[in-house]
Amino acid sequence: MVKQGLDFSKIISKDAPPPAPPHEGDFKYNFVSGHTDPEAIPIEELAKSAAKVIREKGRKLAMYHSDGGPLGSIDLRKFLSKKLAATRGITASPDEIMITSGSTQGILLINDSFLDPGDTVITELFTYSGSIREARRRKANVIGIPLDDNGLRVDLVEQKLEELKEQGITPKYIYTIPTNQNPTGTNMPMDRRIKLLELSSKYGVPIFEDECYADLVFEGEWFKSIKALDEYNHVLHIGSLSKSLAPGVRLGYLVAPTELLAQFLSSKVDVGTNMITPMIAADFLEEHYQNHSDNVREKLHRKRDTLTSSLREHFGPTVKFFVPRGGQVLWIEFPKGTDTKKPLEAAKKQGIIYNAGADWSVEPEKASNFIRLCYANPSEEAIREGIGKLAQVFHEEISVP
């Protein structure tokens, strides 16, 4: 007798997102996501910190929240309080910092607490795909504002806020990645940061500042975060250790007033971010943060230059791109009418994976001729080889270049 299984497709919520695609395995020329350089992982130092922490604090693992309460590791929050003051200009006590499972969890918590169906949010036209996806999953109206070589066009933000005000609409937040913007690599100058904060005050719309790439400025000066300029709690700030330490540690943080953190905690249903990883990270970073960060930035600087020179060699004037002064990604524009998704499957067969631009835009059709390349993971040799092979694939599939 054959047993009849349940048809779970009839049980899954109609509001559930579509199933995740199967994992495609590793690619020799991996230009996607926020993967980092495996050679930059400080294995020996992390091993020493892990052994030290487990010996000294291992028994704390017997209880939830025993190393700092529901906000997360107190040692890591103390370190972040010092780091944010020194590198981002932010004054925040450990009690105003929550440890999250990567910066993406910060996005989830803020959206869970802020967004109702039909709400409006403002973001950059080209931005982190996860932020677009999560706002739309809550049935929010996402408005994308164009960027230029200095990041978000704040003058256009003002125009849009005025238009919405006339319609009786107050957006729930303005989401921006002002430092090493993802995917464009731009850095918003101080005058725009100040102006955006003024608009936040004028129109009563909070700023949601995502600075997960802010530790990776390797050329020129770094600008203070918008949160550093904020005297009246208009700014929610998230950041990450995934890009500067390792994405596999899944550590981020959220900076907000204590009363808002209490609200976000009510949506944090993981019963607290794991304890052992933050404790190890705190011990490592307290001693090695500066040297490790310098090493990561140096490697990224070389890889950026390798990628840009390889693109010029193999694609020539066919492509245009802004050369970022930090971060991990390059945003590359092909001629109008180019469909950069079309060569993707052929590229995979050659061991190459990249992000098609449409997935990184509020209006996908405006980025269908772009690709996003993350240059942090492959070696310099692999970058050179991979871009040569990618140019061959694009030529064969869509006659570009």
- The vertex-136 CA angle with 135 and 140, nearest 5°, equals 75
Same domain, 213 and 338: no
Q: Answer yes or no: are the C-beta atoms of 202 and 149 closer than 8 Å.
A: no
- Convert the pLDDT of each residue in 50-71 to its tens digit: 999 999 999 999 988 888 899 9
Same domain, 181 and 215: yes
Look up the CATH number of the domain holding residue 123.
3.40.640.10
Q: Is the pLDDT of residue 165 over 70?
A: yes
Same domain, 294 and 386: yes
Domain extent at residue 364: 22-43+290-398
Same domain, 347 and 386: yes
Residue 4 lies in a domain: no
Domains in the chain, number? 2
- Convert the pLDDT of each residue in 329-362 to its tens digit: 999 999 999 999 999 999 999 999 999 999 999 9
Residue 3 lies in a domain: no
- Convert the pLDDT of each residue in 225-268 to its tens digit: 999 999 999 999 999 998 889 888 999 999 999 999 999 999 88
Residue 10 lies in a domain: no
Same domain, 227 and 180: yes
* Three-state DSSP state, 110: helix
Q: How far is CA 181 from the centre of its chain?
A: 9
Same domain, 294 and 273: no
Same domain, 135 and 30: no
Same domain, 229 and 303: no
Same domain, 28 and 128: no
Percent of the chain exceeding pLDDT 70 equals 99
Q: Supply the mean pLDDT for the chain.
A: 95
Task: State phi, psi for 26 to the nearest 5 degrees.
Answer: -90, 150
Same domain, 284 and 362: no
293-319 average pLDDT score: 97
The CA distance from 114 to 236, in Å, is: 12
Q: How confident is the model at residue 305 (pLDDT cuts 50, 70, 90)?
A: very high
- Convert the pLDDT of each residue in 168-215 to its tens digit: 999 999 999 999 999 999 999 999 999 999 999 999 999 999 999 999
Q: Is the pLDDT of residue 2 over 70?
A: no
Residue 54 lies in a domain: no
Q: In this structure, what token pair is assigned to residue 356? A: 């098609």
Residue that finishes a domain, picked among 288, 315, 338: 288
The CA distance from 391 to 380, in Å, is: 17
- Convert the pLDDT of each residue in 104-135 to its tens digit: 999 999 999 999 999 999 999 999 999 999 99
Model pLDDT, residue 5: 78
Model pLDDT, residue 3: 64
Q: How confident is the model at residue 363 (pLDDT cuts 50, 70, 90)?
A: very high
Model pLDDT, residue 21: 82
